[in-house]
Amino acid sequence: MSLTSILPGTLGFGAAPLGNMFRAIPEEEAIATVEAAWNDGIRYYDNAPFYGAGLAELRMGEALAGKPRGDYVISTKVGRVILDEVEDVSARDQGEKAGVFAHGRANRIVNDYSHDATLRSIEDSLKRLRTDHVEIVFVHDLARDFWGDEWIARFEQARTGAFRALDRLRDEGVIKAWGLGVNLTEPIETLLDLKEPRPNGFLLAGRYTLLDHDRALQRVMPALAERGLDIIVGGPYSSGALVGGPNFEYAPATPAVLDKVARIKAIADRHGVSMKAAGLQFSLANPAVAAVIPGASRPGRIAEDRAALEEVVPVDFWADLRSAGHVNPAAPLPGLD
């Protein structure tokens, strides 16, 4: 079963900001943001225990309580177990994501991709989300950006643990689908080379965006097409850099990134195109993309995302982007491919 066959639409809600990503978000604002997504008609919500050490799941569970459970789809992630005991948040070793959730809960996070930890993680997520099931489970951050050279050893733990557990849960009908939720393409490439695990698709954050898509286009998309699989694009605005924010990949954007954004924006301004529309519609133009899930920490962002998705973008804009060399020549573009 592909992700496309499970998801209720191409625009979903990425819950990372609900975990106090980069800033402390008032509870009322977080709940109102999920409410705004619901009122907009969004029915796919992605979450993870890692987001604020369970905070994002707790807030989403509160916001969706009372909504008809059959009307929406939830994905969450495994690889971390959140304990009741607390720890020094500043001392956590989180690779390139260090400090991203400094304002989240101080509950101790245990990294564990084993079979038993996978089952416990799902059970704990169900409690925080106030539901009796989730449709999709992703194995989270199983990549070099979090683990450095240790990522292969962690991948092997997941191969004999999480992957087998999720294959079984999917085959038993407990969940509908599973895959990896990562920020790099290499783990997806590695998993697709294995015969035993049978994933349904992947959540790939930041790697099929207007600012960074070459490797995914060359190494991931053909493999997905060959196997009838698909991906969800997370971080379509590249941590905000594409739409004027200061961060790219969880860190301050480099001058080179800011220069690329400025050059793309100059073309967008000339055609009267918003950068959000450019970002979302670029990602969705690839037939292997099932949905995009921009994160939102304020209710007003939801309407902006919807407007960007529905904005009429002139074909000449895409043609100019391609001719200027800002997108890979092989990347599908709306109206051109």
Q: Are 48 and 78 in contact (CB under 8 A)?
A: no
The per-residue pLDDT for 60 is 98
| Marked catalytic residue, from 44, 51, 113, 250 | 51
Residue 255 contacts by C-beta under 8 Å, 6 or more apart in sequence? none
Verify whether residue 77 is a known catalytic residue.
yes
Mean pLDDT, the chain, as a whole number?
95
Is 303 a residue whose pLDDT tops 90? yes
Measured distance between the N- and C-terminal CA atoms of the chain, rounded to whole angstroms: 26
Task: Answer yes or no: 337 catalytic.
Answer: no
pLDDT over 70 percentage in the chain: 100
Question: Cα(10)–Cα(324) distance, rounded to whole angstroms?
Answer: 28
Rounded Cα distance between 296 and 302, Å, is 7
Candidates 44, 45, 46, 212; catalytic one: 46
pLDDT for residue 191 is more than 90 = yes
Predicted pLDDT of residue 113:
98
Provide mean pLDDT across the span 56-64.
Answer: 98
User: How many other CB atoms are found less than 10 A from the CB of residue 237?
Assistant: 27
Phi, psi angle pair for 170, to nearest 5°: -70, -45
Distance CA 123, CA 170 (A): 15
Tokens of 186: 């290499």
Separation CA 209–CA 331 (nearest Å): 11
Q: Stretch 65-73: mean pLDDT, rounded?
A: 97
Cα–Cα dist 300/303, whole Å: 6
Q: Indicate the pTM of the whole model.
A: 0.96
pLDDT digits (tens, 9 = 90+) for 202-239: 999 999 999 999 999 999 999 999 999 999 999 999 98
Please give the C-alpha separations between residue 76 and each of 131, 251, 272, in angstroms, as whole numbers: 12, 24, 37
Per-residue pLDDT at 96 exceeds 80: no
In order, the DSSP letters of 119-171 are HHHHHHHHHHHT-S--SEEEEE--SHHHHGGGHHHHHHHHHHTHHHHHHHHHH
- Read off the pLDDT band of 9 (50, 70, 90): very high
Structure confidence at residue 89 as a pLDDT band (50, 70, 90): confident
Catalytic one of 72, 77, 141, 260: 77
pLDDT of 62 reads 98
Which residues contact residue 39 at a Cβ distance below 8 angstroms, ignoring those fewer than 6 apart? none
Show the tokens assigned to 226: 């060959």
Whole-number pLDDT of residue 250: 75
pLDDT of 247 over the 80 cut: yes
116 is catalytic: no
- Across the chain, how many H-helices and E-strands are there? 13, 12
Q: Give the pLDDT of residue 92.
A: 77
SS3 181: strand
